[in-house]
Amino acid sequence: MNLGRVGVWLGSLALLPATEERAAVQELERLGYGAVWVGESHVNREALSHAALLLEWTERITIATGITSIWARDAVAAANGAASLAEAHPGRFVLGLGVSHAPAVAQRGHEYTRPLTAMRRYLDAMDAATYLAASPPVPPGRVLAALHPGMLRLAAERTDGAHPYLVSPAHTAEARRILGRGPILAPEQGFTLAKHASDARASARAHLRIYLGATNYQRSWSAIGLGPDDWQSGGSDRLVDELVCWGDEAVIARRVDAHFAAGADHVAVQALGSNPLDELRRATQVLLSRG
């Protein structure tokens, strides 16, 4: 997988009208970012059709789903869809798979039970799928949205690696220990270039609001020493500062470097300010000139 050192998690840029999103991803490619990551939920664009658009709009940059929900399509559809994109755009598509969260899964009409078992069975069914169209010259990369030890071990056993979301460098260090050497570790890192604590934390809390009640994230945060008080009442300053870095470009670069020092192979940065594309422009030189 050719992700490069630093990529971009699109976040709010993925909600723009198509013409604006196209211009944004084309600029990110020109700036030199190695990959673009795009999410999926029950209230936004479908992941594989979205990835197809992003691949058509660009020429070199890798497009990765971060993540494609296993509850949104059956395993055969995921395998065949990934193969279709990888054949049309060799070496440029990575399928990130995840179990999502119980409320979002319920909105799709499914029951969120035994997520690790569900993922294992999904991978089995993907691997058993028959695909008779033209085969991709390079198989699509495959990673798991893995936060906890069981899913991280499954990522190491059955895929190319892991893409943890909303994590700190401390989580990255533990994830690397569990994955061992070899599997790709590509965490997401939110940031804002706001220099005043009140402005920065306001942007961070607006971003974190929809995640604070998710038990998967709460368990992940507990593992790095945070507790219930940290994700109540909008999130503590401590939680905000663990998950979102803020300050000038050098501060952002140091946090990204901390992930690499902890064992990351690639970091997907997500700009959380009111003008995310401008924040990414401003951070480009310091982020891409290191390492």
> Does a structural domain hold residue 213?
no
Mean pLDDT for 52-77 is 98
Q: Phi and psi dihedrals of 124, rounded to 5? A: -60, -45
pLDDT in the model for residue 102: 79
pTM of the model: 0.97
Confidence of residue 251 (pLDDT cuts 50, 70, 90): very high
pLDDT in the model for residue 101: 85
Residue with tokens 């600029």: 27
CATH code: domain of residue 81: 3.20.20.30
User: What does the pLDDT look like over 69-124, one tens digit per residue?
Assistant: 999 999 999 999 999 999 999 999 999 999 998 788 888 988 889 999 999 999 99
Which of 117, 17, 25 has the alpha carbon at shortest distance from 62? Answer: 25
> Does a structural domain hold residue 97?
yes
**Residues 6 or more apart whose Cβ sits within 8 Å of residue 66:** 9, 37, 38, 39, 96, 145, 163, 165, 188, 268
> Does a structural domain hold residue 206?
no
> Does a structural domain hold residue 48?
yes
Mean pLDDT for 236-244 is 97
> Does a structural domain hold residue 184?
yes
> Does a structural domain hold residue 123?
yes
What are the helix (H) ranges across 129-214?
Answer: 149-158, 169-179, 197-208
Host domain of residue 51:
6-192+246-288
Q: Token digits for 234?
A: 């909008």
How many domains does the chain contain in total? Answer: 1
> Does a structural domain hold residue 223?
no
Q: Tell me what the pLDDT averaged over the chain comes to.
A: 96
> Does a structural domain hold residue 19?
yes
pLDDT in the model for residue 112: 86
Q: Token digits for 101?
A: 């969260």
Number of neighbouring beta carbons within 10 Å of residue 129: 15
Confidence of residue 188 (pLDDT cuts 50, 70, 90): very high
Q: Token digits for 20?
A: 């604006």
Number of neighbouring beta carbons within 10 Å of residue 121: 13
